[in-house]
A and B are shown apart, each in its own frame.
Chain A
């Protein structure tokens, strides 16, 4: 390289960067040199340095450099060896979005748009939602304004990559002197290099998920200890101690064998039981009772540890306790070979206004929240009495539409001033909580059919509200990015959980009441300690907004469903995804574990209810750690409905599955 040229570049660089004094001095020095003895400065002889200088010298504002650099890197990655290709391609997405944001940040709107559109297709498969968000960012001020973009720019992405792929990438970047790409990669990607062969591409979902700045924090948080076990002295424990459970479970098994032979007999048995349970629970509405998700020791590997409650739990009245124990004794054993019966409540004539549906723990009450601010509660036991056919599904449905004396069959609860987004029944079914776009939560009594309390605290629409498994306490979450813990007797929240980067869309209690889980539009699920209000787990892996959550009855696992139809099973203690359950192709509105935790039911906007074998999917992970490739997901059954998206699901204590949804016109 001509030394003269080098000097010029250096001069240009200094001037551009505003080092005017230095430039002046250099100029003087150069003049000096030119005039006098030629004393080559050291940088003229160092080829590496020269290159570096030359790269700097290129007009830094030239927007085409991004495009060139990126497309070169892209074609190199696509032409790399298949074994390493998927790892190298993983690098492309962060480089892509940062190139784009850099271009926007420098004011090259036009080029940024062109760049974005020409490479957008590569990433649409996995990152469509992010791309849709980023697409609107067009001027530098948007970058500042938009939280997502800001957090992206401030954070680093973790990418797991094997040693060889990493070396290949570095070699390429150095060989081609693509300093711009190198800079972006250095600035925004945190390589977690491991030795050995590259992992199979399907294995790590979290490798490509870009989260905010909290990857390290998340890792840190997830180190915290959690007590995921069940409560001491639970009803199940008492049941086991009395030994009645054993005989009953045997009875249940015998029954299910009978059922194989004589199906109808079994069915009528179950209906009878369910009917009696409905009646019983209706009788017991007066008590401030609790219900409890239970678990049986027969199928689960190791018994869940016992923990102490951190909240002062309400006292259960004895007759409620008795009825629950009765239910638990009569629970049908479910497994991959013994499927549950599903009773479906179809809302008709909703005129597209049904926002949410909720089913009480015994399945006898159904509540619907509507966009016209109303809540309607149906007592299915009452309707069923008319012909006792409601549960048998045989009665003439027309009869049910018109109640006695032509009056409506439901209780209308009016009070909200905005669309009702969520409703939840207290475990005995004596209270209903509802949350609305009017930022309030309201408590209703199903006995008085009246509004009791209005809880104000959220500043934006409250997306979800859930009673705790023991009643009295409830959790809510909102567009204001917080989740809150409340008790029925106070109008102020007890705890405010803040930390999500976007709306908190759904909330669920842990069976031991010490934790709540929240799912958010920031694609993460968090677990919060109710007592301290701290975030104790962050679950990263979803690729779109999390819509539904369910906790396994033993408190060990959690399932979450998202907008794309993916369901993830998480191990609470490790915060790792055990298995993604793919199968739905639209929003998963609702999830529910069966009473003993062997089955997971999911309801989706694709008008199906699916049953998943949870025991196999958890067990297989352990086996998989040894041999590598086993199909972990196991969908047992799919029940299509007649163009009815499934809004709500609930396993009763006797393991009858209730589902609810609004009949919608089939898409033409």
Chain B
């Protein structure tokens, strides 16, 4: 009890005194003496600190520093404590085994290191800068002054008052501040887009648009600009093309977050794709513009389809409507087909190929040179036909490409798969041209070896295949399909030699592939029916060989 009370006598504990005594070489300090000394030590420390505060005040500071304490010690004619003047934070370490005992972390420094170390940068010299803190009692809003109070929006009650009347949703106009530089930039780009006279400079501008950061504030202006100009300049082919280039550059720029403006941008783009008339001169190659725009649309869908869920569905709906409306011009049909084709093979398969037959029948009279006397119309019809053919062909090509490099089935495995192809095989043999049949396994071997040069002689051979009468193609295609199914199985079987456990799942996948393959086989047949030999260039050579 008493001991506790004694301890409270001073905030400097007895132990501290003992430690200090030890550190200066006094080992026989009695506890009583330490106790007596503690209050005096506290008093002296307080005294020094009060003097230090005076020094701090006269140095016009509000933070006490080690130099202030040195100054205070000087006032008392005491030697200052060296080693703390550096101004850096002083590190204290806890003494191990003691709760409240600390020591300064003095690291040993090698003189050599200090001398050899490169000189630190000289501190900047003191300078005076001058500014107006106030002009006739008013603080100017210059960077040197502390920021003024935040400018307040109009008082809220004003809005409420207006709301009491007719219910109008009042939106405070948001002031959009554009820097002078950005304004200039926009002006320049707009000029270049409109002028069409300096293509090389425009190209440079497009590169800048596609790569410069910091253009984001201009995006709303650009979208507005594009929308305005497209609606106004439908007769100006070059302008439209330029505008679409601008759109593409904006889409390419990684620093621009264009998504919020897509809804403004899309109508203009789609217009350039499926408008009845783009440009007014005969020489205007609007087909190119449509092709370019189709790719642009595909790019947009690919990039924002995930975030903008309805984007693609709305787009395809628009395009399909344009395609299936017989009253629409062929140019529009062409645009729609190109747009759909660019969206991918699934879209083509689902939306174009399903409507292919009726559409082609509709197109037929236009294609016939005898029936369609208007050469222009005829040309357009052939363009559309070509587009359709290309779309369908690419689609089927993609379908068939699923199994591009079929491993050559080893004879034994072929035997294993024989059970399934057994019915078709004789047909195939029977109907195929001998030479190509004989060549086919070899060809496959080459393909699996990975030599891409292989297919080319085969393609050279294709004209021979062309001789095949179309009506016979039902059988070859089925045989092709069968062998196509056979091949993966054989590969699978090969794998099965390694791990038999996976056979069942493999089987399921295989079934699916089989089914798909069946579909594509049918598709191919259908396409061949519709297009005749024109589809053949799209069929991968390997399949072609089987097909033939």
Residues of A within 8 A of B (CB): 109-110, 113-114, 132-133, 135-139, 142, 259, 263, 266-267, 338-356, 366, 368, 370-371, 376, 378, 380, 383-384, 390-393, 397, 400-401, 408-410, 419, 421, 437, 460-461, 463, 479, 503, 505, 521, 545, 547, 563, 586-587, 589, 605, 607, 609, 611, 636-637, 639-643, 645, 647, 659-660, 662
Q: Which residue of A lies closest to B4 (CB)?
A: A110
Given A344-B133, A401-B127, 14 further pairs, Cβ under 8 A: A142-B40, A267-B136, A341-B135, A344-B144, A348-B126, A355-B58, A368-B126, A410-B126, A461-B58, A479-B54, A505-B54, A589-B60, A640-B146, A659-B133
Q: 12 interchain pairs (CB within 8 A)?
A: A132-B50, A263-B135, A341-B132, A348-B128, A370-B126, A371-B67, A390-B130, A393-B132, A421-B59, A503-B54, A505-B58, A637-B134
Contact at B136–A266, with CB atoms within 8 Å? Answer: yes
A558 to chain B, nearest CB (A): 20
Contact at B136–A339, with CB atoms within 8 Å? Answer: yes
Contact at B61–A352, with CB atoms within 8 Å? Answer: yes
Query: Which applies to chain B's interface (DSSP): helix, strand, loop or mixed?
Result: mixed
Residues in A neighbouring B43, C-beta threshold 8 A: 136-139, 142
Contact at A342–B127, with CB atoms within 8 Å? Answer: no
| Residue from A110, A267, A410, A609 with most neighbouring chain B CB atoms (10 Å) | A110
Would you list the 7 A-B pairs with minimal beta carbon distance, nearest first? A339-B137, A136-B46, A138-B39, A344-B133, A342-B133, A349-B124, A393-B131
Which of B40, B131, B133, B134 is within 8 Å of A138, CB to CB?
A: B40
Which of B40, B59, B75, B125 is within 8 Å of A349, CB to CB?
A: B125
**B57 in the interface, Cβ–Cβ < 8 Å?**
yes
B206 to chain A, nearest CB (A): 37
A591 to chain B, nearest CB (A): 14
The A/B interface has a contact count, at CB < 8 Å, of 194
**B473 in the interface, Cβ–Cβ < 8 Å?**
no
Residues in B neighbouring A349, C-beta threshold 8 A: 123-127
How far apart sit A401 and B129, CA to CA, in the bound complex (Å)?
A: 8
Known: A339-B137, A393-B142, A640-B146. A347 touches B127 (CB 8 A): yes
**B512 in the interface, Cβ–Cβ < 8 Å?**
no
Contact at B129–A346, with CB atoms within 8 Å? Answer: yes
Residues in B neighbouring A609, C-beta threshold 8 A: 133-134
Which of A114, A346, A642 is within 8 Å of B130, CB to CB?
A: A346
How far apart sit A353 and B138, CA to CA, in the bound complex (Å)?
A: 31
Q: Which of B5-13, B166-174, B356-364, B411-419 contacts A (4 or more CB under 8 A)?
A: B5-13
Contact at B60–A647, with CB atoms within 8 Å? Answer: yes
B140 to chain A, nearest CB (A): 8
Residues in B neighbouring A645, C-beta threshold 8 A: 60, 62
Which of A113, A393, A640, A659 is within 8 Å of B9, CB to CB?
A: A113
How far apart sit A341 and B135, CA to CA, in the bound complex (Å)?
A: 4
Contact at B54–A641, with CB atoms within 8 Å? Answer: no
Which of A137, A353, A393 is within 8 Å of B144, CB to CB?
A: A393
Q: Which residue of B lies closest to A479 (CB)?
A: B75
How far apart sit A348 and B75, CA to CA, in the bound complex (Å)?
A: 30
Residues in B neighbouring A138, C-beta threshold 8 A: 9-10, 39-40, 42-43
**B139 in the interface, Cβ–Cβ < 8 Å?**
yes
Residues in A neighbouring B136, C-beta threshold 8 A: 259, 263, 266-267, 338-341
Which of A109, A378, A397, A505 is within 8 Å of B57, CB to CB?
A: A505
Interface size class, chain B: 35 or more
B17 to chain A, nearest CB (A): 14
B343 to chain A, nearest CB (A): 56
Known: A136-B43, A346-B144. A393 touches B130 (CB 8 A): yes
Contact at B71–A380, with CB atoms within 8 Å? Answer: no
Known: A368-B126, A391-B130. A419 touches B60 (CB 8 A): no
Q: Which residue of A lies closest to B50 (CB)?
A: A133
Interface residues of B in 17-61 (CB under 8 A from A): 39-40, 42-43, 45-47, 50, 54-55, 57-61
Q: Which residue of A lies closest to B87 (CB)?
A: A352
Residues in B neighbouring A611, C-beta threshold 8 A: 137
How far apart sit A267 and B132, CA to CA, in the bound complex (Å)?
A: 11
Interface residues of B in 199-233 (CB under 8 A from A): none
Residues in A neighbouring B131, C-beta threshold 8 A: 343-344, 346, 393, 397
Residues in A neighbouring B132, C-beta threshold 8 A: 341-344, 392-393
Residues in A neighbouring B144, C-beta threshold 8 A: 344, 346, 393, 397, 642
**B503 in the interface, Cβ–Cβ < 8 Å?**
no
How far apart sit A193 and B385, CA to CA, in the bound complex (Å)?
A: 118
How far apart sit A391 and B130, CA to CA, in the bound complex (Å)?
A: 7
Contact at B46–A341, with CB atoms within 8 Å? Answer: no
How far apart sit A607 and B145, CA to CA, in the bound complex (Å)?
A: 11
B470 to chain A, nearest CB (A): 83
| Residue from B55, B57, B62, B127 with most neighbouring chain A CB atoms (10 Å) | B127
Known: A371-B67, A611-B137, A642-B144. A136 touches B47 (CB 8 A): yes
B226 to chain A, nearest CB (A): 40
Residues in B neighbouring A505, C-beta threshold 8 A: 54, 57-58
**B468 in the interface, Cβ–Cβ < 8 Å?**
no
Contact at B8–A339, with CB atoms within 8 Å? Answer: no
**B65 in the interface, Cβ–Cβ < 8 Å?**
yes
How far apart sit A641 and B144, CA to CA, in the bound complex (Å)?
A: 8
How far apart sit A505 and B53, CA to CA, in the bound complex (Å)?
A: 13
Contact at B46–A347, with CB atoms within 8 Å? Answer: no
How far apart sit A136 and B87, CA to CA, in the bound complex (Å)?
A: 28
Which of B42, B128, B137 is within 8 Å of A380, CB to CB?
A: B128
Residues in B neighbouring A139, C-beta threshold 8 A: 39-40, 43
Known: A355-B59, A641-B145, A642-B144. A342 touches B9 (CB 8 A): no
Known: A259-B136, A586-B62, A587-B62. A366 touches B54 (CB 8 A): no
Residues in B neighbouring A348, C-beta threshold 8 A: 124, 126-129
B58 to chain A, nearest CB (A): 5
Residues in A neighbouring B139, C-beta threshold 8 A: 639
How far apart sit A139 and B41, CA to CA, in the bound complex (Å)?
A: 11
Which of A376, A419, A643 is within 8 Å of B126, CB to CB?
A: A376
Which of B39, B58, B87 is within 8 Å of A109, CB to CB?
A: B39
How far apart sit A183 and B201, CA to CA, in the bound complex (Å)?
A: 101
B22 to chain A, nearest CB (A): 23
**B427 in the interface, Cβ–Cβ < 8 Å?**
no
Residues in A neighbouring B318, C-beta threshold 8 A: none
How far apart sit A639 and B144, CA to CA, in the bound complex (Å)?
A: 12
B61 to chain A, nearest CB (A): 7
Which of B60, B71, B145, B146 is within 8 Å of A605, CB to CB?
A: B60
Residues in A neighbouring B67, C-beta threshold 8 A: 371, 419
Contact at B57–A587, with CB atoms within 8 Å? Answer: yes
How far apart sit A110 and B55, CA to CA, in the bound complex (Å)?
A: 32
B135 to chain A, nearest CB (A): 5
Contact at A355–B130, with CB atoms within 8 Å? Answer: no
Q: Which residue of B lies closest to A397 (CB)?
A: B129
How far apart sit A272 and B9, CA to CA, in the bound complex (Å)?
A: 68
**B16 in the interface, Cβ–Cβ < 8 Å?**
no
Contact at A400–B129, with CB atoms within 8 Å? Answer: yes
How far apart sit A347 and B125, CA to CA, in the bound complex (Å)?
A: 10
How far apart sit A355 and B65, CA to CA, in the bound complex (Å)?
A: 13
B239 to chain A, nearest CB (A): 44
Residues in B neighbouring A109, C-beta threshold 8 A: 9-10, 39
A418 to chain B, nearest CB (A): 8
How far apart sit A460 and B130, CA to CA, in the bound complex (Å)?
A: 35
